[in-house]
Amino acid sequence: MQIIYLPDHLMIISYIILWPTIQLTVAIICNGISDKHFTPNSFWLKPKKWEKDGEIYETIFKVHSWKKYLPDGARVHKNGFQKRHITSSDPEYLEAFIAETGRAEIIHWLEISPFWIFGLWSPPIVILIMLAYALIINMPCIIAQRYNRPRLIKHYKHSVEKQARKNNS
């Protein structure tokens, strides 16, 4: 519900300034949170049966064909975790990678939620436009994380088993 009335040019400027500010703030806050809070077994991040270990995203969205075009936020943040490619089979690295997919997913969900704020100083239609923008920008990233995480978990389990066999021989 619009309670503040601004000239059109100030509304547009507010959109241009606020969206990146909100997105960067959410990312900075989440990047400061320990990996232990982004475990793949947490309620929000746990793979659902209907996702079929991420295959549903390939079947419906063909995620494998376009995920390489998504930006990696690690380039923006100091000490960011690069998620473009797996660079090691070390279980510790893979565990960190899995946590990072959780962090990225949560960041993108949180970046959708403030769309309604713009309705405080914009006509009602703008709330729908902002929701559409937030979904278009963030859902591909969420889908990519939900697709990648089960695959990384399998890779991690295989790596742990391989390391255990190596240590037992």
For residue 78, the model assigns a pLDDT of 59
> In whole angstroms, what is the distance from residue 17 CA to residue 9 CA?
12
> In whole angstroms, what is the distance from residue 26 CA to residue 110 CA?
7
Q: For 91-123, where are the alpha helices, taking DSSP H only?
A: 91-112
User: Could you read off the pLDDT of 8-31 as tens digits, one per residue?
Assistant: 999 999 999 999 999 999 999 999
Q: Does the pLDDT value for residue 144 go beyond 90? A: yes
Which whole number is the average pLDDT over 78-100? 83
User: Could you read off the pLDDT of 107-122 as tens digits, one per residue?
Assistant: 999 999 999 999 899 9
Element (H, E) at 28: helix 8-31
Band (pLDDT 50/70/90 cuts) for residue 87 is: confident
Is residue 30 classed as helix, strand or coil in its secondary structure? Answer: helix
For residue 139, the model assigns a pLDDT of 97
Asked if residues 6 and 17 have their Cβ atoms less than 8 Å apart, the reply is no
Band (pLDDT 50/70/90 cuts) for residue 75 is: low
pTM comes to 0.88
For residue 163, the model assigns a pLDDT of 85
> In whole angstroms, what is the distance from residue 94 CA to residue 18 CA?
35
Share of the chain above pLDDT 70, in %: 94
Asked if residues 119 and 1 have their Cβ atoms less than 8 Å apart, the reply is yes
